């Protein structure tokens, strides 16, 4: 898989045509799919859960990057594995024992992600880096699509990259989520993100054209000019 990826967030999809839109994403050569699960407790809103993931898994080869905005997510690790998640990203703020939750995700055969709300510092992860495949830096307060990028995020992405190299964890993926569009994508790529989530910027308007224009920006990083 390429290091830099676009991970379209289906929260902004037209759920009447979800299967068709996912096929379009797959044909447009994306490899990742960002799946936002909201429980109405950790965040105010409720999105969708296991039955939807299970249905789309039957017809998709994409890498299912499942972002759990769910309180005490350890309760559901096994169920999401059974539905076909490839990676489970849990919020540091939602776990009473983050290390144990990460161990549980790995022992169920999935990759681990940890999401940090805008106010949570990257230092909370320092002692857990050997259990983390991806860090998700939230660039909006989680809960809704279509919000504006919080500019402080860029500094946090740089801090995280510094921490990853200082601790010998350069291979850990850095995801950014919230308010990413053609105006903000260059900034987050430069600041160190390599997995770029976009919801409204992908699904509002022409899906194929939106993916192409975002993907072009990302591909510069996969194939830097010499
Ligand atoms: C927000 C979700 C995001 C959301 C991003 O809580 O985690 O994944 O879908 O939507 P946009 O790209 O519209 O900000
Ligand atoms: Zn998300």
pTM (2 decimals)? 0.98
Percent of the chain surpassing pLDDT 70: 100
Is 103 annotated as catalytic?
no
pLDDT digit string, tens, across residues 131-147: 999 999 999 999 999 99
pLDDT digit string, tens, across residues 25-42: 999 999 999 999 999 999
Q: Quote the ligand 2 centre to 167 CA distance (angstroms).
A: 26
Choice among 36, 65, 86, 173 that is catalytic: 36
Structure tokens at 169: 């964890």
Our answer on whether the CB atom of 113 is closer than 6 Å to any ligand 1 atom is: no
Is 130 annotated as catalytic?
no
Our answer on whether the CB atom of 179 is closer than 6 Å to any ligand 1 atom is: yes
Nearest ligand for residue 66 CA: 2
pLDDT digit string, tens, across residues 198-210: 999 999 999 999 9
Does residue 56 contact residue 19 with C-beta atoms inside 8 Å?
yes
Does residue 32 contact residue 195 with C-beta atoms inside 8 Å?
yes
Our answer on whether the CB atom of 117 is closer than 6 Å to any ligand 1 atom is: no
Does residue 28 contact residue 208 with C-beta atoms inside 8 Å?
yes
Gap between the Cα atoms of 94 and 71, Å rounded: 5
Q: Quote the ligand 1 centre to 225 CA distance (angstroms).
A: 31
């Amino acid at each position: 898989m390429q290091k830099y990826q676009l991970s379209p967030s289906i929260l902004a999809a037209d759920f009447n045509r979800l299967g068709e839109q996912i096929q379009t994403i797959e044909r447009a050569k994306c490899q990742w799919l960002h799946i936002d699960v909201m429980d109405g407790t950790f965040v105010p809103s409720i999105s969708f859960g296991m039955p939807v993931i299970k249905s789309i898994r039957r017809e998709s080869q994409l890498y299912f990057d499942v972002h759990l905005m769910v309180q005490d997510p350890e309760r559901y690790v096994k169920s999401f594995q059974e539905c076909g998640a490839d990676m489970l990203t849990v919020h540091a703020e939602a776990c009473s024992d983050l290390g144990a939750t990460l161990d549980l995700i790995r022992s169920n055969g999935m990759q681990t992600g940890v999401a940090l709300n805008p106010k949570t510092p990257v230092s909370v992860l320092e002692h857990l880096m050997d259990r983390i495949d991806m860090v998700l830096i939230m660039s909006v307060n989680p809960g809704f699509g279509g919000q504006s990028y919080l500019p402080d995020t860029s500094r946090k992405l740089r801090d995280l990259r510094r921490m990853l190299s200082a601790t010998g964890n350069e291979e850990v993926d850095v995801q950014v989520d919230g308010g990413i569009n053609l105006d903000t994508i260059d900034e987050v790529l430069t600041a160190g993100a390599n997995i770029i989530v976009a919801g409204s910027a992908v699904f509002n308007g022409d899906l194929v054209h939106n993916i192409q224009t975002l993907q072009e920006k990302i591909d510069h990083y996969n194939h830097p000019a010499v």
